[in-house]
A and B are shown apart, each in its own frame.
Chain A
Amino acid sequence: MGYSFHPGETDLLSNATRIVAQPDEDPRPWLGAVPTVGSRQLLTFVHEATHNWCFSSAVGQAQVFIAQRAETNATLLGALWDDPDPSRDNVSLVNAFAHFGSMFRAGSMYGDKRGHFGGDLDRVRGELAALIADDLLRLEVAEAILRPLAEGLALFAEYDAVSRGASTAWSPLPSTVAWNFAGREILRAGSPVAMTLLAATRLLQDARLSRVGVDAKASVLVQPLDCSAGGYLPGYLAVKSMWRHLYGHNMRLYGESDLVLAYLRSFFYGNLELAAAIAAPPGLDLEGANRIVEAFTRRLVEFDQTTDDDVAEFERFIAQPVATRDWFTPGLLRSQEQGEAARDLLDAAYENYDRSLPMILYPDLGWHDSVGPPEQRGNLIVSSVPVTIAPDPDSGGITVSWRELPVLAVGPQDLVPVTKSVRNTPITAPAAAQLDVLLVSFATRNGLSRAAVIRKGREIVACTGWGPDPGEARNLAIEEFRSRDDKVSAANLFRWSADQALSTRPWLSQVREQTRSALPGITDELYRDTALWRARDNTAIDNCAALMHEQGMYALLGSAGAVKRMALLGLVASINSSEDFINSVFRAHGYELAAAVEETSQCWERHGFPRPVVSHEAKGIVVAAGEVDGNILIPLI
């Protein structure tokens, strides 16, 4: 018992989410026309929703693709492997792999293909093992170099990003937050867009400025500046530096931090060249991982060229309804022709897979879509719990109980399936089942469509939908549905079978270990300069990077109290940078604003990072909360 884990979690490959620590998972607030979740889960929800949104992208999909490709190649290698040696135990990895292959051959309608290669069989096996290794290295390298960015964007969404009532474009987060956390207030407001955005900002303000919110952000600031420790601080500081770069061009973007979040997500996760480098056909030279590092480094360096004009172009694009947008996203430092060239490369990688050896020899291998098709990756699972179901003779439907409490009455119209050819076993007695609640395609539907899927064993027995079109929500949810546990297990299987395959060639495992040991240094190098972009000079960057390696900002500021004050300053200023407002929040927390500003200045004097708080005469300047008179304060962190 205890909480020594992520409060919430998102799995990269399956995109399955958990937004509450597992012992506390309670589905009830999500089971109704208007969710009644309350703010307790809000910040974690925003964090995980951001992960889900980022991983539902060209770059995220490319990572899933190579994991699937590695697994398919591993299955073929198993099918071409020797028969298991009955005299050896199955604990031996290679013999376990032989058993795996033997079972596959027995189950496939295409049978044993080993004779097809004659004396070339060992060469083919060696090449397959190298291709698997190349994909595994790519997967691990892509995951490692993108992790700090993923965490940085999620933390920026959690602690900084807001929209204004006058915003013209926004990420999916504000409306998702408003519609799922504002309760009935949002319905009473009649839901004009401005009210939705303001409701979200108000909810985020309450959560961020609470003591829990301040402590949570302070805990990010004292994380190691070390990418092997989760990459939280390197990623968060890098994203804050990028925001600073953009609002340095145009102060309007200080208040439009949610738009900046959407821009950064598209700039990196929507980059087709990076996706193509990840998905490119595997090679025997094991060089694929290097191409990924090069593509990401190039993109990171290019960010320096972005201006507020690029963001404005992007803003006009995403202000259009999703259904009317072109596939090409402007404002990301790429022309349409460059975008088309990258898209062709990506398509070629996917098509190459269709012509690969596994597909030729065993067409029944097909796509290993056990984590669900791409469309399912956009579903955000907000709760997944064991339940019991029992028939309800009065309604003809079923009653769903969680911890012996009835939590959902499902009418007969929501029993599944309703197809003519297949009908599930009728529920005639109480039975154990699993309840998953999901926000259906949350990023494209703004968190408005929700569905509760009840599954007994492998069968979906019922699904209830909510939102503007409950029937559509329901249909989309059950189409190729996978529960959270199924998704995560399937994703783990990708890694398992590829790991097994690698055990057949020890030298490839050694290459993998060497890559793993080099990765932390490579990743630290990638992020360090962006994270400390605003440091005084190169000497300050070097010194701060060394000082912050273990305890982040704690090493610079010297006390937990000073870190908390710095955390609070950034939290308040991103909502409303009016000095008067910041002062009032500081007083409510029992802190002195002047002391916090002075601590930052002293830190700058001593270490050259972070920059001192900037004070502006800001008559009429519009920041997140609206138009401000008097002074505004802009902290870097």
Chain B
Amino acid sequence: MNAEKTVEITGLQLIDYLELAEQFPPGTVRRLPAPTQPAGAHGEPTLVTVLLTLTAASAQVLTAWLVSRQTVKTAAATPAATAGTEGITLTISPDRSIILHMGATPSQATETGKEALVSGIQAVTSAILKEAESG
């Protein structure tokens, strides 16, 4: 049985990663290496992708962290329809709105409000944990 489930969070600022890492046990948040930029490319610092190991406790912390963000605007996919699927990704776009991909393609994302995002994240994390425990 492999009880470890991860959530991939893309589009983070570097400070977000450090803030998340402060809130989780060591080794729970892993920063993925940035892709090599083309020669000659200049621009703002690249955004960061992290893998977060999901446990009951970390799911709650993640939910609280996402909710605390003032500019949460969008979420995606209905949790009930996709619970238990692999490949969950949270994409945080440059204006800090959040898109939740749960095994669905980004084009299937649907916009919901902050309230729905919170319940969506909670439902997803609960479903994943349940699956992990039963596996």
Known: A2-B10, A8-B43, A9-B43. A215 touches B38 (CB 8 A): no
Complex interface bits, B57-71 against A, C-beta within 8 A gives 1, otherwise 0: 000000000000111
Known: A3-B94, A4-B34, A212-B96. A48 touches B15 (CB 8 A): no
Residues of A within 8 A of B92 (CB): 3
Q: Is the CB of A5 within 8 A of B91?
A: no
Q: Is the interface of A mostly helix, strand, loop or mixed?
A: helix
Q: In the complex, which of the residues B16, B40, B44 contacts A11, with contact meaning CB atoms closer than 8 Å?
A: B40
Query: Is B4's beta carbon under 8 Å from chain A?
Result: no
**Count of interface residues, chain B, beta-carbon cutoff 8 Å:** 38
Residues of B within 8 A of A561 (CB): 19
- The segment from B46-54, B78-86, B115-123, B126-134 that touches chain A is B46-54
Q: Is the CB of A232 within 8 A of B48?
A: no
Q: Is the CB of A3 within 8 A of B35?
A: no
Closest B-chain residue to A19, C-beta based? Answer: B43
Closest A-chain residue to B39, C-beta based? Answer: A495
Query: Is A26's beta carbon under 8 Å from chain B?
Result: no
A147–B42 CA distance with the chains assembled, in angstroms:
8
Closest CB-CB distance, A555 to chain B, in whole Å? 11
**Max chain A Cβ within 10 angstroms of own Cβ: one of B42, B44, B106:** B42
Q: Is the CB of B44 within 8 A of A143?
A: no
In A470-488, which residues have CB < 8 Å from any B CB? Answer: 488
Closest CB-CB distance, B26 to chain A, in whole Å? 15
Complex interface bits, A194-237 against B, C-beta within 8 A gives 1, otherwise 0: 00000000000000000110011011101100000010100000
Q: Is the CB of B91 within 8 A of A2?
A: yes
Complex interface bits, A111-154 against B, C-beta within 8 A gives 1, otherwise 0: 00000000000000000000000000000000100010011001
Query: Is B45's beta carbon under 8 Å from chain A?
Result: yes
Q: Is the CB of B13 within 8 A of A215?
A: yes
A6–B18 CA distance with the chains assembled, in angstroms:
19
Pairs A-B, 9 closest by C-beta atoms:
A6-B43, A2-B10, A3-B11, A560-B19, A12-B40, A219-B14, A219-B13, A218-B15, A9-B43
Beyond A1-B10, A150-B42, A230-B45, 16 additional contacts (C-beta under 8 Å) are: A2-B89, A5-B47, A7-B44, A7-B47, A10-B43, A44-B43, A154-B42, A212-B95, A212-B96, A215-B16, A219-B14, A219-B16, A220-B45, A492-B39, A560-B19, A563-B15
Chain A interfacial positions (CB closer than 8 Å to B): 1-14, 20-21, 24, 40, 43-44, 47-48, 51, 143, 147, 150-151, 154-155, 158, 211-212, 215-216, 218-220, 222-223, 230, 232, 488, 491-492, 495, 551, 554, 559-561, 563-564
List 19 A-B residue pairs with CB atoms under 8 Å apart, sorted by A's residue number: A1-B89, A1-B101, A2-B89, A2-B91, A4-B10, A4-B32, A4-B34, A4-B46, A4-B48, A6-B44, A24-B94, A44-B43, A44-B44, A51-B42, A212-B95, A218-B15, A219-B13, A219-B16, A491-B40
Chain B interfacial positions (CB closer than 8 Å to A): 8, 10-11, 13-16, 18-19, 22, 32, 34-35, 37-49, 69-71, 89, 91-96, 101, 106
